Amino acid sequence: MPGPGRHFLQIPGPTNVPDRILRAIERPTIDHRGAEFGEFALKLLSSIKTVFKCSGPVFIYPASGTGAWEAALTNALSPGDKVLMYETGHFASQWKTMADRLGLAPTFIASDWRSGVDPERIRDHLARDTAHAIEAVCVVHCETSTGCNSLVSDVADAIVDTAHPALLMVDVVSSLAAADFRQDEWRVDIAVSGSQKGLMLPPGLGFNAVSEKALEASKSARLPRSFFSWGEMVAPNASGYFPYTPATNLLYGLAEAIDMLHEEGLDAVFARHARHSEATRRAVAAWGLETVCQNREHYANSLTGVMMPEGHSADAFRKLVAETFNMSLGNGLAKLADRAFRIGHLGDFNDLMLAGTLSGVEMGLELAGVPHRRGGVQAALDYMSAGSQSAAA
């Protein structure tokens, strides 16, 4: 049984759900075919565009981010279509597995999981595809398994510079509302996301933000889809309704989350996340440990992956931290299983919560006998204190 005090949920999603959103979600459910719901949802479907920074429609499904991946692929592509994908980590690999299962033909650019996408490798593949056989480029903005961020605008430049007609699909599951993302400006055709990370909601909503180019491609796409069909969504959404029962109470929470993001200001939200990310990396460096992400340009705002020293179990360390301090840290996935742990610092999160999180990690390293230097928490506090003093001045 956990001891007194609240549980520290420091995995990189699902994140802590703030009380304001919990209170919104617990409102009585209303008739999803009635006038009150239509008015509410019409406003919501417009306001969510401000988070994606898009002008096209955002389709909202009662599904996870994985469901939203499937919606993106099945609506825009046909059996046998070639897609170019990049192995930034476990979730990019899972998206590629889905493409295989759906009967697509993915080309998977391999990497060591220690950085984000190299746009030059994308550019090279597209430049050699003179027949324009590649129908889509699929990349992950923030790879949740590693803490590596990719420069989406540079990937878009590679597509434009090669005059290639491929669609650009981007997973923004753990970056949306935590790091800057500009769908229209960065020429993203389909952005895929979920509710349980930067949007501060429980799991259960999946999103496709869609460009006009992608909508046009869907008209001739031949992969089977029914539940996820954009075509089924367009007409009902235009008046604030859905073709099937929506997750009404989660939509209440989403509306509250969007209000909270704009009250703080999206740029301030991104700056807060970047600050906590930097403070965490300073703690890791002070401990003498290594971050999974090794490219400074690709550090993620949402989480920090930490490599364990050779011969030490990340899972045993996480278990000790959970049992001793009632704190959950993210596990290493696939190639990083038992070799790394992940510190989530996204969503409804502040300086004192990060200080508590890093204290739990530092105490856990000591108790687990993991070789490290003390002082990681102090390094993070020094950085955050300096920032707070500058802001106050």
pTM of the model: 0.97
pLDDT in single tens digits along all 393 residues of the chain: 567 899 999 999 999 999 999 999 999 999 999 999 999 999 999 999 999 999 999 999 999 999 999 999 999 999 999 999 999 999 999 999 999 999 999 999 999 999 999 999 999 999 999 999 999 999 999 999 999 999 999 999 999 999 999 999 999 999 999 999 999 999 999 999 999 999 999 999 999 999 999 999 999 999 999 999 999 999 999 999 999 999 999 999 999 999 999 999 999 999 999 999 999 999 999 999 999 999 999 999 999 999 999 999 999 999 999 999 999 999 999 999 999 999 999 999 999 999 999 999 999 999 999 999 999 999 999 999 987 655 544
- The helix/strand/coil state of 306 is strand
Q: Which domains does the chain have, with CATH numbers?
A: 8-14+265-392 (3.90.1150.10), 19-262 (3.40.640.10)
In sequence order, which residues have a C-beta less than 8 Å from that of residue 247 and are 6 or more positions away? Answer: 62, 204, 205
User: Can you tell me the distance from the alpha carbon of 270 to that of 252, in angstroms, rounded to the nearest whole number?
Assistant: 23
- Residue bearing tokens 């703030």: 18
Read off φ and ψ for residue 137, nearest 5 degrees.
-110, 125
Sheet-wide strand order for 303-307:
8-10, 327-331, 340-344, 303-307, 290-291
Q: What is the DSSP letter of 335?
A: G
- The helix/strand/coil state of 14 is coil
In sequence order, which residues have a C-beta less than 8 Å from that of residue 305 and are 6 or more positions away? Answer: 145, 146, 147, 148, 291, 292, 293, 332, 336, 340, 341, 342
What size, in residues, is the chain?
A: 393
The confidence score (pLDDT) of residue 4 equals 86
- The 10 Å CB-count burial string (b at 16+, else e) for 100-133 is eebebebebbebebbbbbbbeebbebbeebeeee
Exposed/middle/buried for 30, CB within 10 Å: 0-12, 13-18, 19+? middle
DSSP 248-285: HHHHHHHHHHHHHHHHH-HHHHHHHHHHHHHHHHHHHH
Tell me the C-alpha to C-alpha distance, in Å, between residue 253 and each of 196, 199, 282, 321.
Answer: 11, 9, 34, 31
The tokens of 27 are what? 């409102």
Nearest Cα to Cα of residue 148 among 91, 99, 88: 88
Nearest Cα to Cα of residue 179 among 218, 150, 222, 136: 150
User: Can you tell me the distance from the alpha carbon of 59 to that of 46, in angstroms, rounded to the nearest whole number?
Assistant: 11
